[in-house]
């Protein structure tokens, strides 16, 4: 169990909260690049860390996220025109009375004022920088004094043909979603069907180890940026099958790979305290994704999902009971009756409620990764609040990690044996079974 105070500290990420301040130390995923692909294209409204924003790529190609609402009368700038004036000043013009803002939130024109008025220079909306790296547009929502170095996660730095990212809206607090990414023990149960059937999972030898040993052992090891969670299962006599999941603070996890399948992982981003974005990626360090792999991802296989048309809401969602199929459950096609790895996770995590009541839970030793992650988050949030300590995971060196799946002699330490496998070495394939 966790005290209510600690649960509140961990789950509340709005402005002025300790965990909100912690998140505001990092560049975090805000949007997929496809959402703002065109200079001068439509603005996108988004909410992150309980702040309503409008993001746009101006006609000069610059990205920015600003307060969604016009300083004049509070109308949404989502209706605005993304335009460039004769003087080359690009910005978003409110559709109500024509106030115009640049990507930094600076008001650059108030049409009701005289032509040569300087008054607009006194109006500025809150703004945050955006930067595109790979398929993802990242945001830094901290103060402007010291902007941290840009993210160096491998999945956004490999060549475009080697990577694919999707995102989905999950209707619960970010932490219970993240904890699903740290908790490897549910895979043998909840995802047992996917290991056999999913085109992006099936066929690896590691799957057999997963399915043959339903009582894994766990080792949790501190890392500079967070944790490594090692899970071992019996393999051939004298050996263990290890699956190693890195967690980089605050919200990045990677799933250990399977055979030659693409490596996947997630970034769990709070929208508000009862919703989060799950940015989901697949990539390969040393080869391009095949057309079949890409098509499987677009079709919602692997850790991706299908969508309600025109949205990032999963097609299977809580309003339709995730299209649960009791017959598929009886047949063993899917352990929970829900199709797809991603929605299997989402359905169970959303069923816990918008913010799980952790004072009522009964964790077991197999949940050591979760216990340790909570501890590290609390410690980092309080150290930041009380002493201004920069938290783990801000340094880009902490981003250069990989997951791994290996078979090792029983006497081997997974961390010693996998030291290179857990590091990013450009062009070198993932370590996988």
Rounded Cα gap, residues 431 and 9, in angstroms = 37
CA dihedral 190, 244, 363, 321 (to 10 degrees): -30
Cβ–Cβ under 8 Å, residues 336 and 322: no
Asked if 37 interacts with another protein (CB under 8 A), we say yes
Q: Which is nearer to another protein, 63 or 190 (CB)?
A: 63
Which is nearest to 393 in space by CA: 142, 152, 134? 152
Q: Residue from 8, 39, 62, 78 that binds another protein (CB under 8 A)?
A: 78
Tokens found for residue 74: 């509070």
Stretch that binds another protein, among 72-80, 151-159, 278-286, 359-367 (CB under 8 A): 72-80
Q: Which is nearer to another protein, 146 or 309 (CB)?
A: 309
Collapsed DSSP state (helix, strand, coil) of residue 336: coil
Asked if 132 interacts with another protein (CB under 8 A), we say no
Q: Residue from 96, 217, 218, 312 that binds another protein (CB under 8 A)?
A: 312
**Residue 42: CB partners within 8 Å, gap ≥ 6?**
56, 82
Asked if 144 interacts with another protein (CB under 8 A), we say no
Q: Residue from 10, 44, 370, 421 that binds another protein (CB under 8 A)?
A: 44
Which is nearest to 78 in space by CA: 88, 90, 66? 66
Cβ–Cβ under 8 Å, residues 237 and 261: no
Q: What's the start-to-end Cα distance of the chain, in Å?
A: 36
Q: From start to end of 149-249, where are the E strands?
A: 163-170, 217-222, 226-234, 239-248
Rounded Cα gap, residues 339 and 318, in angstroms = 13
Asked if 282 interacts with another protein (CB under 8 A), we say no
Q: Which is nearer to another protein, 41 or 259 (CB)?
A: 41
Binding mask of the shown chain, residues 224 to 263, with x at each position contacting another protein by CB under 8 A: ----------------------------------------
User: Site size for another protein, by CB under 8 A?
Assistant: 44
Tokens found for residue 332: 């063993």
Q: Residue from 2, 125, 190, 373 that binds another protein (CB under 8 A)?
A: 125
Asked if 222 interacts with another protein (CB under 8 A), we say no
Q: Which is nearer to another protein, 17 or 432 (CB)?
A: 17
CA dihedral 66, 71, 77, 80 (to 10 degrees): -110
Within 152-211, the residues that bind another protein by CB under 8 A are: 169
Tokens found for residue 48: 């992150």
Asked if 346 interacts with another protein (CB under 8 A), we say no
Collapsed DSSP state (helix, strand, coil) of residue 138: strand
Asked if 129 interacts with another protein (CB under 8 A), we say no
Asked if 350 interacts with another protein (CB under 8 A), we say no
Asked if 46 interacts with another protein (CB under 8 A), we say yes
Collapsed DSSP state (helix, strand, coil) of residue 396: helix
Q: Which is nearer to another protein, 269 or 422 (CB)?
A: 269
Q: Which is nearer to another protein, 107 or 220 (CB)?
A: 107
Q: Residue from 6, 8, 39, 52 that binds another protein (CB under 8 A)?
A: 52
Collapsed DSSP state (helix, strand, coil) of residue 265: strand
Asked if 76 interacts with another protein (CB under 8 A), we say yes
Rounded Cα gap, residues 424 and 430, in angstroms = 9
**CA dist 75 → 20, 69, 92 (Å):** 26, 5, 13
Asked if 117 interacts with another protein (CB under 8 A), we say yes
Q: Residue from 86, 87, 88, 118 that binds another protein (CB under 8 A)?
A: 118
Q: Which is nearer to another protein, 253 or 275 (CB)?
A: 275
Q: Which is nearer to another protein, 115 or 291 (CB)?
A: 115
- Contact residues for another protein, defined by CB under 8 A: 15, 31, 34-35, 37, 42, 44-47, 50-53, 67-69, 71, 74, 76, 78, 112-119, 122-126, 169, 271-272, 275, 277, 307, 310-313
């Amino acid at each position: 169990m966790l005290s209510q105070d600690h649960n509140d500290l961990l789950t509340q990420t709005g402005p002025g909260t300790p965990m909100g301040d912690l998140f505001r130390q990092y560049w975090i995923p805000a949007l997929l690049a496809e959402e703002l692909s065109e200079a001068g294209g439509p603005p996108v409204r988004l909410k992150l860390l309980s702040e309503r924003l409008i993001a746009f790529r101006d006609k000069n190609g610059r990205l920015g996220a600003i307060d969604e609402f016009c300083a004049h009368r509070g109308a949404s700038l989502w209706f605005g025109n993304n335009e460039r004036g004769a003087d080359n000043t690009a910005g978003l013009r409110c559709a109500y009375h024509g106030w115009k803002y640049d990507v930094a939130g600076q008001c650059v024109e108030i049409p009701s004022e005289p032509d040569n008025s300087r008054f607009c220079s006194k109006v500025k909306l809150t703004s945050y920088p955006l930067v595109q790296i790979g398929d993802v547009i990242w945001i830094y929502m901290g103060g402007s004094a010291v902007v941290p170095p840009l993210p160096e996660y491998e999945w956004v730095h490999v060549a475009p043909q080697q990577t694919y990212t999707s995102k989905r809206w999950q209707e619960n607090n970010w932490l219970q979603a993240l904890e699903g990414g740290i908790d490897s023990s549910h895979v043998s149960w909840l995802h047992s069907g996917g290991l056999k059937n999913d085109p992006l999972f099936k066929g690896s030898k590691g799957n057999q180890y997963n399915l043959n040993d339903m009582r894994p052992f766990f080792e949790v090891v501190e890392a500079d940026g967070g944790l490594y969670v090692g899970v071992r299962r019996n393999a051939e006599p004298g050996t263990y099958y290890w699956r190693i999941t890195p967690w980089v603070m605050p919200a990045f996890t990677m799933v250990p790979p399977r055979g030659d399948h693409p490596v996947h992982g997630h970034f769990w981003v709070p929208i508000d305290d009862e919703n989060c974005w799950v940015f989901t990626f697949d990539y390969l360090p040393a080869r391009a994704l095949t057309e079949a792999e890409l098509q499987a991802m677009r079709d919602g296989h692997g850790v991706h999902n299908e969508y309600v048309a025109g949205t990032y809401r999963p097609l299977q969602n809580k309003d339709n009971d995730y299209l649960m199929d009791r017959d598929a459950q009886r047949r063993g096609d899917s352990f929970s009756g829900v199709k797809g790895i991603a929605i299997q996770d989402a359905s169970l995590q959303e069923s816990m409620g918008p913010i799980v009541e952790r004072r009522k839970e009964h964790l077991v030793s197999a949940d050591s990764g979760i216990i340790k992650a909570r501890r590290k988050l609390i410690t980092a949030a309080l150290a930041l609040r009380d002493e201004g300590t920069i938290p783990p995971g801000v340094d880009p060196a902490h981003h250069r990690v990989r997951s791994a799946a290996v078979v090792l002699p029983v006497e081997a330490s997974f961390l010693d044996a996998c030291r290179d496998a857990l590091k990013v070495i450009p062009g070198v394939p993932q370590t996988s079974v």
